[in-house]
Amino acid sequence: MSAAERQIDCSRADYYLTLWRDWMRSHSSRLDYPSHSAGFSSGGISCWDDLAESVDGYAVRAADAAIDSLTPIHRGVLCHVYLQAAFRFRVPLELALPAAQEAFMGEMRKRGME
């Protein structure tokens, strides 16, 4: 993988991981389902924001599953960086994070997320 491809991969990973972080920090456990019905005419999606939110919900569920399937070190690095969880590593965090992001994006690709 070239340096440019790695940079794009890391920025895409950061996008998905930021969505996941926000979802993990939310006080709701409803897994992106709306708390009220928008009506019957559109099936719940009435504007672009509703559609974007539903796609983000799919991405969050895929990211959560991808993180669960990572090795403990990669999972720990991502939780440390994105959730400020307290972990100690033998490898410097600056070296461990890119490897964790690459492993994460590999799992996301398996789930159809590019």
Q: In tens digits, what is the pLDDT along the chain, a chain of 114 residues?
A: 676 666 667 788 999 999 999 988 885 555 555 554 444 445 555 665 555 566 678 888 899 999 999 999 899 999 989 988 887 777 787 888 899 999 999 999 998 887
Query: What is the phi-psi region of residue 47: left when phi exceeds 0, alpha when psi lies from -120 to 50, beta otherwise?
Result: beta
Number of Cβ atoms within 10 Å of the Cβ of 8: 13
Name the packing angle between helices 72-83 and 48-68 (round to 10°).
Answer: 140
User: What pLDDT does 37 receive?
Assistant: 47
Say whether pTM exceeds 0.75. Answer: no
User: What pLDDT does 32 receive?
Assistant: 52
User: What pLDDT does 10 receive?
Assistant: 76
Whose CA is closest to 70, among 30, 32, 31, 110? 110
User: What pLDDT does 14 receive?
Assistant: 92
* Cα distance between residue 63 and residue 103, in whole Å: 12
Provide the terminal-to-terminal Cα distance of the chain, rounded to the nearest Å. 15
